[in-house]
Amino acid sequence: MWFGEMISSIGSGLSAFGIGILVFQMTSTATSVSLVTFFSFVPAIVLSPVAGVLADRYNRRTLMIVGDLFSALVLLVMWFLMINTTIQIWQICLCIGLNSVFVSLIDPCYRATVTDLLSEEEYSRASGLIQLASSAKFLLAPLAAGFLLTFVEVSTLVMFDICTVFLTIITLYYVKKTVELPTTKIKNKNHVLADLKSGWQVIHKQYGVLVLLLIMSTVTFFIGFIETLFTPMLLSYTSVQVLGTIQSIGAIGMLVSSVFIGIFNLNKHLRRNMIICLALAGIFIILIGSTTNVIVIGWMLFLFFFTLPFINTGIDVLIRGNIPNEAQGRVWGIVSVISQLGYVFAYATSGILADYVFNPLLKKEGILAESFGKIIGVGPSRGIGLLFMILGLGTIILSCCLWKSKEINRLEKNRLKKE
């Protein structure tokens, strides 16, 4: 199942990279890129609580197969539009949005299935392996996509994505037929809202989880800005191939730390590791925004990605270890929608802030050209660099808040007692 999700991640990365390049070349604005990214995430985030309820009611592997199948069909429609017409931005947004609806079924089922398969002592390693699979989207896909776009169209990358989805369906079908896994059933099948309410009550009893969710939302807000604006920033002074190479180099950092976590069982000091890595991530974001040197940016992106699996593992294990198994699907659905609200706000505002606020500030005639401009330079994308520096500072402040949180410390103690 993990292997299938890794292959699917590579396919998703290929099409996402290609679509981002296509949209920027069509419009030359960060706003349009952020709009497409917004539609790719919002439906999945909004529907994830309902998907979590379904994950607790029905066979989780079957739901994942259904989600992948309909996702592939939507991608097929987008591919058809690309090869037969001049595809419009609204058509891309519609297809991406529908794809996100079906993808929303997959994540809560996948996370809950991990709990089905493994003991609590194995959660940390599993988290590392899951992030390793996710890193393939950033590690292999941008480099391959940047190279392939020299010879093929974006539509070909979308077709590659479709093929990987069908391969994932085959692996899920194999798991469903050969591995006996528990299927949790909820008694009150006619009350979805009641199920959502009960999932929220499970979270509400753990005040530390609520604090952790607030921190997660803030982190995803910062990451959403970086994810959306990194491509417009670099394409203003470098090529598609260089962009793909830098993103792949950066993702090697996630690969290295994910492999490390997957090999070594990091069950202790999760809170400490999370805080340190969060502070370091803020420093690396500041350095990414402060320069146009692609070598420096590549190294800083590598180090930034290196910190993320430690942060994600800490969050994942602390929540998983404090939530009963029978409520895992509902809880992960609610956790997903709350924690990823940061992405929603980031995607909705990042393009507008970049195009109409920060970039004008650091043009040659901009208000900050004679102050910050002398430090980080002036030009069409230096405003995005300044925005990155502000986000990095916010990340460092967030790590300080996490250090002082007694509730997070209590979550770790409770989890260690259960083990």
CATH number of the domain that residue 128 is part of: 1.20.1250.20
Q: pTM for this structure?
A: 0.67
- Tens-place pLDDT, residues 58-74: 777 788 888 888 988 99
CA distance 72 to 103: 10
What pLDDT band is residue 281 in, cutting at 50, 70 and 90? very high
Domain that holds residue 205: 2-181+189-418
Q: Taking all residues of the chain, what is their mean pLDDT, rounded to a whole number?
A: 80
Closest of 134, 359, 340, 136 to residue 229, by C-alpha: 359
- Tens-place pLDDT, residues 19-47: 888 888 888 787 787 788 788 877 877 77
Whole-number percent of the chain with pLDDT over 90? 11
Residues 6+ apart with CB under 8 A from 15: 75, 154, 157, 158, 160, 161
| Encoded amino acid at 53, one letter | V
Residues 6+ apart with CB under 8 A from 152: none
pLDDT for res 339: 77
Residue predicted with more confidence, 234 or 320: 234
pLDDT for res 390: 93
What pLDDT band is residue 299 in, cutting at 50, 70 and 90? very high
Q: Give how many domains the chain has, as a whole number.
A: 1
- Tens-place pLDDT, residues 113-150: 777 777 767 776 777 777 677 766 766 677 778 778 88
- Tens-place pLDDT, residues 247-274: 878 878 877 887 787 676 666 677 788 8
pLDDT for res 363: 86
DSSP state of 120: G
Look at residue 280 and tell me whether its pLDDT is greater than 70.
Answer: yes
- Tens-place pLDDT, residues 379-389: 878 999 999 99
Whole-number percent of the chain with pLDDT over 70? 86
CA angle 406–412–418, rounded 5-degree value: 135
What pLDDT band is residue 187 in, cutting at 50, 70 and 90? very low
- Tens-place pLDDT, residues 142-154: 777 877 888 888 8
Q: Which residue is listed with tokens 């420093």?
A: 283
Burial of residue 261 (number of CB atoms within 10 Å: 0-12, 13-18, 19+): buried
pLDDT for res 282: 93
| Encoded amino acid at 387, one letter | L
Residue predicted with more confidence, 54 or 161: 161
Cβ neighbours around 259 below 10 Å, total? 16
* Helix intervals (H) in 236-327: 240-263, 270-289, 294-320
Helix axes 328-339, 294-320, angle to 10 degrees: 140
pLDDT for res 214: 80
What pLDDT band is residue 237 in, cutting at 50, 70 and 90? confident
CA distances for 49 relative to 134, 169, 241, 355, angstroms: 21, 23, 38, 34
Retrieve residue 302's tokens.
């590598």
